[in-house]
Structure 1
Amino acid sequence: MKSAVETLNPTRVRLTVEVPFEELKDSLDAAYKKINQQVTVKGFRKGKIPARVIDQRFGRGAVLEEAVNDALPKFYTEAVNEAEVNPLGQPEVDITELKDGELLAFTAEVDIRPAIEIPDFSGIEVEVDAVEVTDEDIEKSVEQLRERFASTNPVERAAAEGDVVTIDLEAKVDGEVLPDGVASDVSYTIGSGELLDGIDEAVTGLEAGGEATFTSQLKGGSAEGKDAEVTVKVTAVSARELPELDDEFAQLASEFDTLDELKADSRKRLENMKQFDQATQAQERVLEKLLELAEIPVPEKLLEDEVNTRKHNLEHHQLGQMGLSLEKYLEFQGKTVEEFEAETKDQAVKGIKTQFILDELVNKEKLNVDQEELTEHLMRRAASSGMSPDQFAQAVVQGGQVPMLVGEVARGKALALVVEAAKVVDTNGVEVDLSDEDEEQAAETVEAVTGEAEVSEEK
């Protein structure tokens, strides 16, 4: 076999391959054997039809076609290895010559990983938010905890904001009660905004037994998006009572004996959260700087596939689980279809470039992933997917996704390497030390940028 490679652009090549006919022998034998099992010829047992009879009855062309289809993947792989290119996705193959007994010639065009020169990233500087926990932050945290331990007690007065009311609802469209427009004994906190627009104004000021009618656009159900006449009847009013902020509350709501200890723990927890957010922010901004420094061409077909994958995952998985259509989602987001398309393309370009440059850095620095690192990553991915580690591991193995997980961990290590070399300063001008940065956290950052799709190499 002879092969040659022609570079069409930085991300695409054309392989030209010539195969002497004798190298098709194994595939020809396999083709005759396969046809033998599929056809019947009078006077011959199944599977025992001579090759010359098959040629006469069904045509030599059918045999050659079967043999070439069987042989092409092998010769293509040999040509790829000989050219030392890294193909992405499936090739576009064109058979240019097929002479029976003489020669098979074909071309294969395929996208490849571009050659990337890693820039000097030691001079990268970024600014991040300072880790500051104020007394107001602590008060808000404790207040949220206090809200969770609120109690409700029935009252004989008009309902006011913050009260919990028990209500019956009836919705009509064009004067007809909707089949799914009646609900009884619904518990609703006034001011929470969890039900229909206009309901807060309707029930405020009503006592138990009071009734009001208002117009609202329905957010779901059989008449979603239509204006409905809604009748609401208040059957009970309860006031929410918050526990006193004292040591007794601390003992009720936590493992601490005093309110001061509870507040100290809240401060520490908020500091840890803000430090995590600060590290993530540093990773994202350092990555953006790295991408700005590097020249990274993106294959057109790969970009098209990535955009389609992202749109499919959003529309059929994420939105599907929430019962939302893409149109409704864009309406909630206040975006046009054109804005959504442009944003998705930008995200896809960034995701592909991120994979390319971090993979190159992994190879250059010879970064390896050990079993412990892979197990830790698998445990985190299992937790985020809602599956047990065993279930997730089984799904990963069965789906052939282990290399993908290894790639995610390795890219996290590569990004951590870049962040460690960069200068990170907070908004107060204080340099932030991220030398002990969690590589697993960096893997999460990379995963968020690259999305669910993986740039796959297929030979």
Structure 2
Amino acid sequence: MKSAVETLNPTRVRLTVEVPFEELKDSLDAAYKKINQQVTVPGFRKGKIPARVIDQRFGRGAVLEEAVNDALPKLYQSAVEEGELNPLGQPEVDITDLKDNELLSFTAEVDIRPEIEIPDYSGIEVTVEAADISDEEVDKAVDQLRERFASTTVVERPAAEGDVVKVDLEAKIDGEVLEDGVAQGVDYTIGSGELLEGIDAAVTGLEAGGSATFTSELKGGSAEGREAEVKVDVQTVSSRELPELDDEFAQLASEFDTLEEVREDSRKRLAQSKKYEQATEAQEKVLDALIGLVEIPVPEKLLEDEISSRKHNLINHQLSQMGLDLEGYLRMQDKSEEDFDAELKEQAEKGIRTQFILDELVNKEKLNVSQEELTEHLMRRAQSSGMSPDQFAKAVVEGGQVPMLVGEVARGKALAVVVEAATVKDSNGEVVDLDDEDETAETVAVDAAESDEAGEAAESAADEAPAAGGDEAETKPGA
């Protein structure tokens, strides 16, 4: 077999392959055997039909087609290995010449990973928000805890802000009650903004048994985004009473004995949360800086597949679970479809570039993933998917997604290496010491490369690789 590689652009090549006919012998034998099992010829036992009879009855062309289909994947893979290529996705194969008993020629165009020269990243410097905790933030956290222990008492007076009203709702459009526009016994705190716009003004001043009508844009359901006439009937009005902020409240609401201990615990929790946010911000900014240091071309076909995959996942997984379609989602986001598509393309390009450069770093730094690291990552992914670790692991294995998870962990480790070499300062000018940076880097690297396909593939035990899956991508050609 002879093969040659022609570079079409930095991310795409054309393979030209010539195969002497004798190298197709095994595939021809397999073709005759397969056809033998599928057809019946009078006078011959099934499976014992001579090759010449098959040629006469069914045509040599049918045998050649079957043989070529069998041989192409192996021939293509041999040409890829000979050319030392890193293909992405499926090739576009074109048989240019097929001469019986002489020669098979074909071309295969395929996207490849671009060659990336990792730049010196030791000079990267980023600034993140300082993790200062104010007394006001502590007060707010304690107040939120206090809200959870509020009590309600039914009162015989007009409803006012802060009261809890139990209401029945009925939505109409063009005078017709919507099938999904009726709700009964809904508890609503006036002023919380958790229901429809306009309901606060409508129920304020009403007593139990009172009614009002207002117009509002529906936030969900079959008529989401449309203006509807909403009738609200008040069943009861209840006042909310908050517990006193004292040591007795501390003992009721926590494991602590004093209010001061509750405040100190709230301060610690806020500090931990801000530390994590600070680390996440640092990872994202370091990643952006790293990508900005090198030109990373993106294969057009790979980009198209990635955009399509992201859009499919959004519509069929995320939005469908929320009872939304794309049109309703765009209304909620106040975006046009053109703006949405542009943002999706930008995110997909960044995800692919992130994966390319971090994968190159994994190779350069010779980073390996231990079984313990993979297990920890799998546990986190299982938790985020809502599946048990055993269920998630089984689905991942059945879906052939283990290499993808390994790649996610390795890319996280690669980003952690870059962050460790970078200088991170907060808005006060202080150098930030990032704890647990490996786990945070892994999360950021996964998010940037949009690897949600792993979780979704696990949930459905799908067996297709991600659009930007690189070495895990399917590479078998079809005739």
TM-score (norm 1): 0.97
Structure 1, residues 242-287: CA drift from partner, whole Å, max 9, x if none?
0000011111111101000111111111111111111110000000
**5+ residue gaps in structure 2?**
454-465
Q: Corresponding residue for 2:266? A: 266
Cα 1:323/1:176, change in 2 over 3 Å: closer
Q: Corresponding residue for 2:317? A: 317
Cα 1:26/1:379, change in 2 over 3 Å: same
Greater displacement, 321-330 / 167-176: 167-176
* Cα shift at 1:176: 4.0
The two structures, once aligned, show a CA RMSD in angstroms of 1.4
Structure 1, residues 24-75: CA drift from partner, whole Å, max 9, x if none?
0110011011111111111111111110011011111110011001000001
Q: In the alignment, is residue 72 of structure 1 matched against residue 72 of structure 2?
A: yes
Letter in 1 for 2:75: F
Q: In the alignment, is residue 51 of structure 1 matched against residue 59 of structure 2?
A: no
Distance 2:326 2:83 in 1: 44
Q: Corresponding residue for 1:439? A: 438
Matches within 5 A, 1:226-245: 226-245=226-245
Distance 2:171 2:363 in 1: 63
Distance 1:170 1:338 in 2: 35
**5+ residue gaps in structure 1?**
none
Cα 1:196/1:378, change in 2 over 3 Å: same
Q: Corresponding residue for 2:305? A: 305
* Cα shift at 1:178: 4.1
Letter in 2 for 1:449: A
Cα 1:288/1:226, change in 2 over 3 Å: closer
Q: Corresponding residue for 1:203? A: 203
Cα 1:417/1:203, change in 2 over 3 Å: same
Distance 1:255 1:141 in 2: 16
Distance 2:330 2:220 in 1: 16
Cα 1:49/1:290, change in 2 over 3 Å: same
Structure 1, residues 86-106: CA drift from partner, whole Å, max 9, x if none?
000001111111111111111
Letter in 2 for 1:130: A
* Cα shift at 1:334: 1.2
* Cα shift at 1:192: 2.0
Distance 1:332 1:222 in 2: 14
SS of equivalent residue, structure 1 residue 67: helix
Distance 1:78 1:130 in 2: 55
Runs of 4+ in 1 over 6 A off after TM superposition: none
SS of equivalent residue, structure 2 residue 5: strand
* Cα shift at 1:231: 2.6
Distance 2:316 2:15 in 1: 37
Matches within 5 A, 1:179-218: 179-218=179-218
Distance 1:337 1:221 in 2: 21
Distance 2:246 2:12 in 1: 69
Greater displacement, 295-304 / 227-236: 227-236
Matches within 5 A, 1:18-417: 18-417=18-417
Q: Check whether the contact 2:225–2:332 (CA below 8 A) recurs between aligned residues.
A: no
Q: Check whether the contact 1:416–1:437 (CA below 8 A) recurs between aligned residues.
A: no
Greater displacement, 29-38 / 213-222: 213-222
SS of equivalent residue, structure 1 residue 297: coil
Distance 2:382 2:362 in 1: 25
* Cα shift at 1:197: 2.3
Distance 1:114 1:176 in 2: 59
* Cα shift at 1:221: 4.0
Distance 2:28 2:267 in 1: 75
Cα 1:263/1:340, change in 2 over 3 Å: same
Distance 1:429 1:224 in 2: 47
* Cα shift at 1:224: 4.3
Q: Check whether the contact 1:117–1:295 (CA below 8 A) recurs between aligned residues.
A: no
Letter in 2 for 1:316: N
Structure 1, residues 341-394: CA drift from partner, whole Å, max 9, x if none?
111101001000000000000001100010111111111111111111111111
Structure 1, residues 410-452: CA drift from partner, whole Å, max 9, x if none?
0000000000001111110111123x44312211101111112
TM-score (norm 2): 0.93
Distance 2:268 2:422 in 1: 27
SS of equivalent residue, structure 1 residue 166: strand
SS of equivalent residue, structure 1 residue 157: coil
Structure 1, residues 265-313: CA drift from partner, whole Å, max 9, x if none?
1111111111111111000000000001012111000000001111111
